[in-house]
């Protein structure tokens, strides 16, 4: 991005040790058609009440050795290049200690979680009795996701 005249002024004065007028920097930047890149305002965070939540049945009992008994899931955000992010949704089988399915996407939305979940249940013959544990994020507390869990 391009710094504004105020930041350029501070840089020249402190880093380069030169005395220069702020208005001169402003005028020169205007002549060269250099304009500061203004960051977008962040949207205010709205706390929403979850539609559907379940009790914590796992209760931090992570010592399971049976495959397809407990699946853990979460979405992780990765910052890749200037300002852009990518999201990883993964389902981890606690019994065999490995990822059952994962999906990458440009936004943290329900579709990302739904794709990951569908990918996981396609790989398993019998999904009955699997305990699905999440952090109760908005994707996992939606009515649609609850319906998907009930169907399998």
The pLDDT of residue 24 is: 95
Give SS3 for 20: coil
Q: Work out the pLDDT band at 7, boundaries 50, 70, 90.
A: very high
The CATH architecture one would assign to domain 70-151 is: 2-Layer Sandwich (3.30)
Q: What is the pLDDT of residue 117?
A: 84
CA 51 to chain centre: 20
Q: Average pLDDT of 102-118?
A: 88
Task: Give kind and range of the element (H or E) at residue 101.
Answer: strand 98-105
Region 51-78: mean pLDDT is 72
User: Are β-strands 70-79 and 98-105 bridged in parallel, bridged antiparallel, or unpaired?
Assistant: unpaired
Give helix then strand counts, H and E, for the chain.
4, 4
For the chain, residues classed under CATH 3.30.420.10 are: 70-151
Output the six-digit token pair for 130.
């699997």
């Amino acid at each position: 991005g391009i710094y504004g005249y105020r930041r350029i002024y501070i840089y020249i004065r402190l880093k380069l040790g030169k005395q220069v007028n702020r208005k001169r920097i402003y005028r020169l930047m205007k002549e060269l058609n250099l304009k500061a890149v203004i960051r977008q305002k962040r949207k205010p965070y709205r706390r929403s009440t979850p539609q559907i939540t379940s009790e914590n049945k796992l209760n931090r009992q992570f010592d399971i050795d049976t495959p397809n008994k407990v699946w853990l899931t979460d979405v992780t955000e990765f910052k890749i290049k200037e300002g852009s992010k990518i999201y990883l949704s993964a389902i981890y089988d606690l019994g065999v200690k490995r990822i059952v399915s994962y999906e990458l996407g440009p936004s943290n939305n329900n579709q990302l979680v739904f794709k990951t979940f569908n990918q996981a249940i396609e790989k398993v013959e019998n999904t009955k009795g699997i305990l699905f544990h999440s952090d109760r994020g908005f994707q996992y507390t939606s009515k649609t996701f609850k319906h998907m869990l009930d169907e399998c």
